[in-house]
Structure 1
Amino acid sequence: MSELDSFRTAVRDYLEQASPSPAVRTLMDTEQGYDEAVWRQMANELGLHGIATPEHWGGAGAGMPELAVVFEEMGAALLCSPFFATVALALQALLDSGDESAIDEFAPALLDGSQVATLVLNSSLAAWDPSAVTITAQRDDADYRLFGDAGLVLDGHTADLILVAANTANGTSLFAVSGSAAGLTREPLSTLDRTRKVARLGFDGVAARLIGADGQAAAGLARTCDLALVALASEQLGAAQRCLDTAVGYAKERIQFGRAIGSFQAIKHRCADMLVLVEGARSAVFHAAQATDDGERAVAASVAKVACSEALLHVSLDSMRIHGGIGFTWEHDAHLYVRRAKATELMFGSPDHHLARLADLVSSPRHQPEGKL
């Protein structure tokens, strides 16, 4: 067994006891949406928050392959937690900003679990596009103040630290805002996927600290978003694998007409189709997590988002169908995975958006064979 497999087993074993179905159902109905004890345990005892953070800033110094494993297992368990918002978005945006003083100031509290953070990219959870940034920043002597609204922000109502992409006279910039800042309004929202919390934020002259150079945040945020796509695709992969495992297990146990339903050809074919989708998604995530060049990662991240979005949607629906009548009830967990599938399908760009992005990326000169345009 490789070190990565051992790490996966450790994370899976932990989540089996930390995020069983009853805990998920309890937490998804709370406004906060997560268990603080589990949150701190993941940070301090397992070191998950800093698994891909350089050792210089107190992390484990691993990389995206290890972090992808964490997100895959969290997706399988439907863990109710602000981990994605804090680690895949806010912490990564800090690291990609290149502002060492800001990383020194804000990263320790994110790594030890004493703070929750999130990142506001635009007014929704759409794909990254500098032209879609809706928040504006105005200079106020030595400080900045933010104005505007963000309609959909992951864990925005509980975040202690909010990083915000905003427009200044010099272009797209990144700012840090305290969750208790004057002029900041936060409204939790009811959404399709109740296991992941979303809020509406309003900025009315909110004091903010500039992260990095004024007008120079776009490139770093583009990289952050590509890495977040890989993390999200990993979540989708883990959820799809769990749906497949559950469906196959049920097909082996459910007796119909004196036989296990898994012995019927129609069920066999459906399970085989589900397996093909999951394995295709796994290959896409594996490649995206291994990519180190920014250009290669951009292509691989969009491929993974397309493959994993389609895999989770189809596999979760087929799992529900294989379970028959019980699969359509509120008491069964199948619908929670379908809800996660529909919500994540649209987060940071739909499959159609990423197919169009892929067409643009692969037609650019850097992706053409040598000597051809």
Structure 2
Amino acid sequence: MDFSFSQDQIDLRDAVREYLDGEHDPAVLRALDEGSGRDPAIRSGLVEMGLAGIMVPESKGGLGLGLLEATMIGVELGRANVSEPLADTAFVAVPWLLAQDRADALDGVASGERVIAIADPANGWVADLDHADALLSSAGLVEPAPVTDRLDTVDPLRQLFALPDEVTHDPLLFDLAALTCAAQMVGAAERMMALSTDYAEQREQFGQPIGRFQAIKHHLASVAVKVEFARPVLWRAAASQNDERFSLNVSHVKIAATDAAMLAAETAIQVHGAMGYTYEVDLHFWMKRVWALAGAWGDRATHLRRVEAMVIDGAMDIGPSETFTKELTHA
């Protein structure tokens, strides 16, 4: 089996990363925090790159790519701390509608003219409802009711609103949203590790960079291991959309991504010292995002219970004979 990415996938990821590094740096985050939290120019740039239509069929003006490519871009959104209402529409609503044979509902998505908010009682809130012209739940697409007051959140760049009373749980919607959430957490963990490494190379103590001290090296190495273990779990989950293990794989990656991101945040604070808590240090934007996403679309305990129900209760068999494809034979 070949688990490597194609050159086209790598080129797509690198192009998005390069664009976001240049157009969505910490200075932009500070301007958003001091303003309304949204900038039409940012959304226009993401749409022009084709990200809004990454999974939209070519017949509807999109790129026609799959969930794996969308998840790769989700990591880059987390790495850059993008808060625009893109992921819910492009990475959750689009594949859900395609699974229901509702490609007819995708008009205007690739061009950025249509924003779809998603609602499920397992989450407890709706993100960017004030920017949406459609609300997706288990009942399908409906026109959203007028928004109420925004909810308080630890992450000021997220815009959350109360959940409508009539929505019911939809397993696929939940899985797609949890996967997208996990992808952003992996990206945020990568960025916090990079910020910590850069700071450790520049900050001097006792006449040398603090990054030379073993205590700092060991902390950062632990984060690197957690992130490296989370990445393949993320790719497996994204690649298993049509597999019976999709829900199991999604819960696995939400746990792994939460562990990696939370450790990255804790370690980053330690590496930065007392400054890590201050507004003046860019780190706080990613810490707040991770703290918010850790509880979004199922917290760690929720996904552990799902894994327990699917594995220990016998819904999913485990072991080498079940883990690998049964088409493989051995002499």
1:59 partnered with 2:59: no
State the identity %: 30
1:2 partnered with 2:1: no
Contact 1:82 1:116 in 2 (8 A): yes
Contact 1:28 1:196 in 2 (8 A): no
Structure-1 residue corresponding to 2:142: 176
AA in 1 matched with 2:31 = T
Contact 2:61 2:111 in 1 (8 A): no
AA in 2 matched with 1:344 = L
Q: CA deviation at 1:369?
A: 6.2
Of 13, 20, 25, the match for 1:15:
20
Q: CA deviation at 1:81?
A: 0.3
- Post-superposition Cα deviations, 1:219-274, rounded to whole Å, max 9, x if no partner, equal xx322321222211110001001111111111112111011111111111111111
1:261 partnered with 2:215: no
1:293 partnered with 2:239: no
1:271 partnered with 2:233: no
The size of the alignment, in residue pairs, is 316
Contact 2:192 2:264 in 1 (8 A): yes
Q: CA deviation at 1:366?
A: 5.3
Q: Secondary structure at the match of 1:191?
A: coil
AA in 1 matched with 2:233 = A
1:38 partnered with 2:42: yes
AA in 2 matched with 1:11 = V
1:317 partnered with 2:290: no
List gaps (5 residues or longer) in structure 1.
127-151, 166-172, 205-214
Q: CA deviation at 1:203?
A: 7.2
List gaps (5 residues or longer) in structure 2.
1-5, 323-331
Work out the CA distance in 2 between the residues paired with 1:164 and 1:369: 32
Q: CA deviation at 1:38?
A: 2.2
Work out the CA distance in 1 between the residues paired with 2:96 and 2:11: 29
**Highest Rg: 1 or 2?**
1
Work out the CA distance in 2 between the residues paired with 1:93 and 1:29: 35
Q: Secondary structure at the match of 1:368?
A: coil
Structure-1 residue corresponding to 2:53: 50
TM-score by length of 1: 0.78
AA in 1 matched with 2:46 = M
Q: CA deviation at 1:174?
A: 2.5
Contact 2:151 2:161 in 1 (8 A): yes
Contact 1:280 1:307 in 2 (8 A): yes
- Post-superposition Cα deviations, 1:52-81, rounded to whole Å, max 9, x if no partner, equal 223343321211221111110110111120
AA in 1 matched with 2:133 = D
Q: Secondary structure at the match of 2:107?
A: helix
- Write out aligned runs for 1:139-288 (5 A): 152-165=125-138, 173-177=139-143, 179=144, 184-200=146-162, 221-288=170-237
Q: Secondary structure at the match of 2:108?
A: helix
AA in 2 matched with 1:118 = A
Contact 1:312 1:341 in 2 (8 A): yes
Q: Secondary structure at the match of 1:323?
A: helix
Of 276, 285, 294, the match for 1:345:
294
Q: Secondary structure at the match of 1:118?
A: strand
AA in 2 matched with 1:25 = R
Work out the CA distance in 1 between the residues paired with 2:70 and 2:188: 16
Residues 369, 160 of structure 1: alpha-carbon distance in 2 compared, 3 angstrom cutoff: closer
Structure showing the higher strand proportion among its residues: 1
Q: Secondary structure at the match of 2:117?
A: strand
Work out the CA distance in 2 between the residues paired with 1:295 and 1:49: 28
Work out the CA distance in 1 between the residues paired with 2:199 and 2:150: 36
Q: Secondary structure at the match of 2:178?
A: helix
Residues 111, 186 of structure 1: alpha-carbon distance in 2 compared, 3 angstrom cutoff: farther
Contact 2:294 2:300 in 1 (8 A): yes
Structure-2 residue corresponding to 1:331: 280
Contact 2:119 2:163 in 1 (8 A): no
Contact 1:251 1:261 in 2 (8 A): yes
Q: CA deviation at 1:199?
A: 1.4
Q: Secondary structure at the match of 2:52?
A: coil
- Post-superposition Cα deviations, 1:266-303, rounded to whole Å, max 9, x if no partner, equal 11111111111111111211211221434221111100
Work out the CA distance in 2 between the residues paired with 1:201 and 1:275: 37
- Post-superposition Cα deviations, 1:137-195, rounded to whole Å, max 9, x if no partner, equal xxxxxxxxxxxxxxx21111221212244xxxxxxx33411x4x5xx343222311112
AA in 1 matched with 2:249 = A
Of 28, 33, 46, the match for 2:33:
28
CA RMSD of aligned residues (A): 2.5
Contact 1:72 1:234 in 2 (8 A): yes
